Structure 1
């Protein structure tokens, strides 16, 4: 059960945002439980905005493979937590938010009492290990704070965090057998991930340091820690589980009882205490990508003392300040919760990846110094280029510039000389398709948020787009399309490369580089080469120029697409919708195509999984849970029936976003789903990042004011707003009738008021 703390009444006097002194208490509308059920893949624990530490409960444990066979739980537990589960295995310090792939789960901590157990046990029989039963009735999740009662031990666990430090507070019963377990073996996605090495060192009776190296989605990832206790432990033990070939040299020691260090693939440690009734033991747990010394410095800088409530208060004040970048009246409490939880989720990543002194580990595995910028990691770019980074250009312009500087550092450190594709923790994962650092950079350049070396950024974009051995790019350059017999998902790749190339052309045009503009604007038309006029769909083509014979536009398997089918991807030409519409038969025929996308019923055979979960995020054949469809409803603005977008936008907002644990209709994908909500709730959306235009829709807010970095404000008003009044009669900008179906970025940053006049009936004029 979510409980909201109202202690922040004083924040309105204490915080300011861009000179504003009327900060509202908005964290009351944040519910981190939203998205923790089914496919949302969010975590409910404590973190700071864009924080390096994500301290959160995990409800399942390894192995995800039984007798070498995949069990399917890898996908289910991408964030480590599922709302339906009845037990908590512990609290780990790193998590992805809303992804469709898993990793992390570093440094699991679990308090217990009674006889020591160092195995996690099972969900059905929690008493067989250190995990515990819990109830949502005794669980609280807020921005920057998490609390739960561990029923098996009668221990209350509380968590908060700063950017680099997680803070625990455990309230114990009376016991002479109280323990705090540190599990260096645990990790999310252990089906594929292995702790290749771990090291733990007991510095004294209140400080422990070490590191963990893993080989998983990130093939070589090392993270360091420093763990400080508020009370000296009376004893401890370090348990290793793998025999080392030179173990004999260490045989003279009892390494498992009060021995000061351990190095092994598999380590669990326990720290033992005597506790009185209601006694609290606190932990400061700092992370570093560089060293244990760096972790200690991070701890000393961010949490020098033991006042848990003060840390919680400071982090929640920071969250409140971030949320006040938009002050909205969304009407009902439920819609306010949807709105500000979406902002919360949008501000969880990418995450800070450097110590307080600016040091971080680079893609080349060397230590680098971030000079004049904050280094970020966890770039889920196939998802986030669409709406999250455009949102940052409005709400987080300085951070977005630093994210681009981080991408450029990645480029410099890459032996491939490529911008990131999907990167995290000094690793490139090569996940998904396209070179979507490009639209992030281009969008910032076109929108004037480019306080970085734009010439070098363009150079990096071109080099990345010309890396011939990557994912069929060589054939794409030579033939004008990716052949399916050379690289799978060929149509998706062709379409996404064409869009990315258009973004490069926009940058080149802005910089006056006509030759580069001409080259890439020509490449951006490559989408035409995979359109089959006979079938009316984008279709996979072979290297000999022939269409692949077996073709079903509704099928996702082996048809040339990824996370979508031809029906979805045939609409993916965000940079040239007018030409696409003409190519597909004109406005009337295209409108009918869009209509059927939302109204058709897909047979079960087209679903990859048999579970009901596979239908999450789907309306007809419109797949809101997968990003290639996110711009689709706004394509009605290029037809003679723009009002058809308006009621469908409101339908999507209502069905795909709810103030409940299962309230996200698909993976949040590091904030992309949430960014779609925020833009659409405000009444406009960036169909083609790299353009300065936002297409108009149907706002769900009654009013909202964006507080811009330049000190100006941009206000959206929706007159006569209601659940029935979803159609737009007219729109004015600063009191003047708007005679176009979009607003520009300049309209927003110059400040002013955008007013929608709403009606229950469409205005077909």
Structure 2
């Protein structure tokens, strides 16, 4: 059993922020003090003034099914969850995921004044002054009740500690029937099994993006006696009263999307004990191991703190939905079923099944970071996507609740999966993988469906793209969903066709290779030479009239024409040729950066400001995915010096803050912006998503003096890859020369095989924009 006296001491140390100084109190504290802690560098409150339901995290493991944290706003997917400027806690919920929310609980004290009103009046003020947050842990005091709360978790189990005030009636409210972020929670049930155990379930209702409801099952274990469980007739919610003698209460909440039995087993396997401090320590250790894969030296303390906060976000948002035993919810068919993941020789699941926002924009973010630093994670996600294909017949681009959501556009899973194959992470069953990806690019696949288009296949305009070489704007059949912006769809499909062509080439499918390669040239069909911009066309092939390249979302998905014109990551040389040559293209893009700098390279500091008149006309926007590659376009056009200059400017203006009011400008789509920031700061970037043979990385300008990437020995032969940026400073941003393992490296390009073999990349930086002539030669 848990030793409460020891726990109270440890909790006291945590509250004071002096846990590392309490080393004489126990072995676990010794380990915490001696361990280099990357989690201590993380600032979880970053951008929480602008966050959305799945943005904030505290009591969660990497990709944990449980993401337990307090909610200060609960009304909608946007502007909800933990919002820093709202001073009222409305419950602690266990699910903060893409289109998923559930199991909200609230510790309360009961008196004559509130025993009849507590079901509808239970919110409590709190103060950030007494709050403590770190990866895997949060402490907060509920001012209304004078309850001190601490929360942590395993992957599938939330663990709560409540210190109730003396002489008050302690209780826990289960708010199972309520609006909770993106969805209604309804049909909530809570059953008392015995004086220390409860079980229940709640239906997470369907949303406009997730068309089917999903049930979450849970098991509750307490180390205190339950005196009674009361259900309120009006709200349908439950109050669990506890024995008055127990003022310090621990509660486990294990969850499952398949059954109460599996929720119970998740507790048995992951949390068989009651040692709160041990769970905090283990969670911290798990985060430290992943964050410690990249070690940075140099820069300011704020630079390093922001870096590890970015890296932490790159491992956030997307959530495990399979149980410890591999059972998972499959909602892809007409009827719900419980699926079973394949098991290894030890009876453990070979991978997890995931809930995930779209991979839209992942080609410039997690494609690269996960593939290089976390290959085991990337491999799991590919397997998960292929499990959806096995179950439902399509590879998803953003699954939720075990089903397709059709979030965003195109076939964004294609570059993610193809890059994993080119990196050597996926080597088996490639024919099946190829056929699944190809299906998405043809009639009946993902490309036919625009955002949230559940009942038709017309909004994506694929038939026009295949027949005429472009998607018209507007779609003649009408509006069926969001993001039916023909010019953007054309550009996206062309790039994704090129990525599929690379896999066809690898597999010796020459006819398919030539077919998709030809389709990848379709970007040329929406380039208007008379204006110098990408421009929408109607179904008859006529240019959109009164065209304004700075008009937001007119033919372009979450962008304007100026931003989207550069979305040709597979053939920037061809785009430059259309513009009259590389020099003219460089001048054009440089002018856009000069103008964008005046607004800090973002369309405001939150996603909802993008359409504000002051921001929507910005020519480059690092607050959303469509133009986040643009600083590295100069590199591909023969001007790496401008890449070095502008990428440093973007990092300084956009990805350097450390405050609740800023950070990702409100649109951190499950690690995409965090991982982009990491890549820009270490100076490695993949323009085409890493989908060509032996993927290439463009060398940028690291902000740190030294970066050490610990390579996963299960996947890569090298132990570590180090980047030394000599003479680095805020002024010295230009890379003059490059050595790889003491040998000159030309072209500012390094291949995947060269990195994963380990070694040292040595960069010489200066304030001179003219590099050594040998360095700029193209690498062969």
User: What SS does structure 2 have at the residue aligned with 1:709?
Assistant: coil
Aligned residue number for residue 699 of structure 2: 696
Alignment of 1:610-649 (within 5 A): 620-649=618-647
Q: Which structure has more RCO (C-alpha within 8 Å, separation ≥ 6)?
A: 1
User: What SS does structure 2 have at the residue aligned with 1:75?
Assistant: coil
Contact 1:347 1:671 in 2 (8 A): yes
Q: Select between 6-15 and 641-650 the one with higher mean Cα deviation.
A: 6-15
Task: Kindly indicate whether residue 347 of structure 2 is the aligned counterpart of residue 369 of structure 1.
Answer: no
Which of 583, 587, 593 is equivalent to 1:588? 583
Aligned residue number for residue 24 of structure 1: 36
Aligned residue number for residue 90 of structure 1: 91
Which of 366, 375, 382 is equivalent to 1:404? 382
Aligned residue number for residue 353 of structure 1: 321
* In 2: Cα distance, 1:618 partner to 1:757 partner: 38
Pair 686,595 (structure 1): closer, same or farther in 2 beyond 3 Å:
same
* In 1: Cα distance, 2:60 partner to 2:429 partner: 32
Which of 481, 486, 502 is equivalent to 1:490? 486
Which of 691, 710, 719 is equivalent to 1:707? 710
Alignment of 1:665-676 (within 5 A): 665-666=664-665, 667-676=667-676
Query: Shift of the alpha carbon at 1:58?
Result: 0.4
Task: Kindly indicate whether residue 140 of structure 2 is the aligned counterpart of residue 169 of structure 1.
Answer: no
* In 1: Cα distance, 2:610 partner to 2:206 partner: 32
Contact 1:196 1:215 in 2 (8 A): no
Query: Shift of the alpha carbon at 1:680?
Result: 1.0
Deviations 1:410-463 (A, max 9, x none): 11222xx32112212212111111111100111111121114421111110101
Which of 743, 751, 755 is equivalent to 2:758? 751
Deviations 1:62-94 (A, max 9, x none): 4x6xxxxxxxxx5222xx111111111111001
Contact 1:222 1:289 in 2 (8 A): yes
* In 2: Cα distance, 1:681 partner to 1:12 partner: 33
* In 2: Cα distance, 1:480 partner to 1:452 partner: 34
User: What SS does structure 2 have at the residue aligned with 1:716?
Assistant: strand
Aligned residue number for residue 257 of structure 1: none
Structure-2-length-normalised TM-score: 0.85
Contact 1:700 1:721 in 2 (8 A): yes
User: What SS does structure 2 have at the residue aligned with 1:481?
Assistant: coil
* In 2: Cα distance, 1:54 partner to 1:296 partner: 18
Alignment of 1:440-455 (within 5 A): 440-455=416-431
Q: Select between 594-603 and 178-187 the one with higher mean Cα deviation.
A: 594-603
Aligned residue number for residue 170 of structure 2: 178
* In 1: Cα distance, 2:46 partner to 2:399 partner: 26
Query: Shift of the alpha carbon at 1:590?
Result: 1.0
Query: Shift of the alpha carbon at 1:612?
Result: 9.4
Aligned residue number for residue 152 of structure 1: 144
Pair 501,283 (structure 1): closer, same or farther in 2 beyond 3 Å:
same
Query: Shift of the alpha carbon at 1:375?
Result: 2.0
Pair 40,644 (structure 1): closer, same or farther in 2 beyond 3 Å:
farther
Which of 550, 558, 569 is equivalent to 1:554? 550
Query: Shift of the alpha carbon at 1:215?
Result: 1.6
Aligned residue number for residue 217 of structure 2: 224
Contact 1:494 1:526 in 2 (8 A): yes
Aligned residue number for residue 19 of structure 1: none
Query: Shift of the alpha carbon at 1:25?
Result: 2.3
Aligned residue number for residue 309 of structure 1: 277
Pair 402,610 (structure 1): closer, same or farther in 2 beyond 3 Å:
closer
Contact 1:225 1:288 in 2 (8 A): yes
Pair 494,12 (structure 1): closer, same or farther in 2 beyond 3 Å:
farther
Task: Kindly indicate whether residue 512 of structure 2 is the aligned counterpart of residue 516 of structure 1.
Answer: yes
* In 2: Cα distance, 1:11 partner to 1:393 partner: 34
* In 2: Cα distance, 1:754 partner to 1:91 partner: 46
Task: Kindly indicate whether residue 35 of structure 2 is the aligned counterpart of residue 35 of structure 1.
Answer: no
* In 2: Cα distance, 1:300 partner to 1:351 partner: 21
Contact 2:104 2:176 in 1 (8 A): yes
Aligned residue number for residue 579 of structure 1: 574
Deviations 1:699-718 (A, max 9, x none): 01211111112352111111
* In 2: Cα distance, 1:560 partner to 1:618 partner: 14
Pair 166,511 (structure 1): closer, same or farther in 2 beyond 3 Å:
same
Pair 583,85 (structure 1): closer, same or farther in 2 beyond 3 Å:
same
Contact 1:104 1:187 in 2 (8 A): no
Deviations 1:548-577 (A, max 9, x none): 2132110114x2111101001100000111
Aligned residue number for residue 358 of structure 2: 380
Contact 2:526 2:536 in 1 (8 A): yes
Query: Shift of the alpha carbon at 1:4?
Result: 8.0
Aligned residue number for residue 778 of structure 2: none
Task: Kindly indicate whether residue 123 of structure 2 is the aligned counterpart of residue 131 of structure 1.
Answer: yes
* In 2: Cα distance, 1:642 partner to 1:111 partner: 56
Contact 1:712 1:751 in 2 (8 A): yes
Pair 433,609 (structure 1): closer, same or farther in 2 beyond 3 Å:
closer
Pair 621,11 (structure 1): closer, same or farther in 2 beyond 3 Å:
farther
Pair 170,419 (structure 1): closer, same or farther in 2 beyond 3 Å:
same
Number of residues of Structure 1 aligned to a counterpart in Structure 2: 704
Contact 1:2 1:33 in 2 (8 A): no
Task: Kindly indicate whether residue 725 of structure 2 is the aligned counterpart of residue 722 of structure 1.
Answer: no
Which of 214, 221, 236 is equivalent to 1:267? 236
Query: Shift of the alpha carbon at 1:639?
Result: 2.8
Alignment of 1:206-355 (within 5 A): 206-213=196-203, 214-216=205-207, 217-219=209-211, 220-241=213-234, 267-275=236-244, 279-355=247-323
- Give the aligned CA root-mean-square deviation in angstroms: 2.7
Query: Shift of the alpha carbon at 1:640?
Result: 4.2
Task: Kindly indicate whether residue 768 of structure 2 is the aligned counterpart of residue 761 of structure 1.
Answer: yes
Query: Shift of the alpha carbon at 1:176?
Result: 3.6
Pair 486,735 (structure 1): closer, same or farther in 2 beyond 3 Å:
same
Task: Kindly indicate whether residue 470 of structure 2 is the aligned counterpart of residue 481 of structure 1.
Answer: yes
User: What SS does structure 2 have at the residue aligned with 1:761?
Assistant: coil
Query: Shift of the alpha carbon at 1:686?
Result: 1.3
Contact 2:44 2:135 in 1 (8 A): yes
Pair 612,135 (structure 1): closer, same or farther in 2 beyond 3 Å:
farther
Deviations 1:517-555 (A, max 9, x none): 111111111111111111111111111111121321101
* In 1: Cα distance, 2:677 partner to 2:18 partner: 23
Contact 1:87 1:133 in 2 (8 A): yes
Unaligned runs of 5+ in 2: 1-14, 343-349, 450-459, 477-483, 774-780
* In 1: Cα distance, 2:640 partner to 2:290 partner: 34
Contact 2:552 2:611 in 1 (8 A): no
* In 2: Cα distance, 1:613 partner to 1:545 partner: 28
Query: Shift of the alpha carbon at 1:729?
Result: 1.6
Contact 1:176 1:273 in 2 (8 A): no
Unaligned runs of 5+ in 1: 16-21, 65-73, 97-101, 122-127, 242-265
Pair 734,498 (structure 1): closer, same or farther in 2 beyond 3 Å:
same
Q: Select between 608-617 and 179-188 the one with higher mean Cα deviation.
A: 608-617
* In 2: Cα distance, 1:517 partner to 1:369 partner: 35
Contact 1:598 1:619 in 2 (8 A): no
Contact 1:89 1:120 in 2 (8 A): no
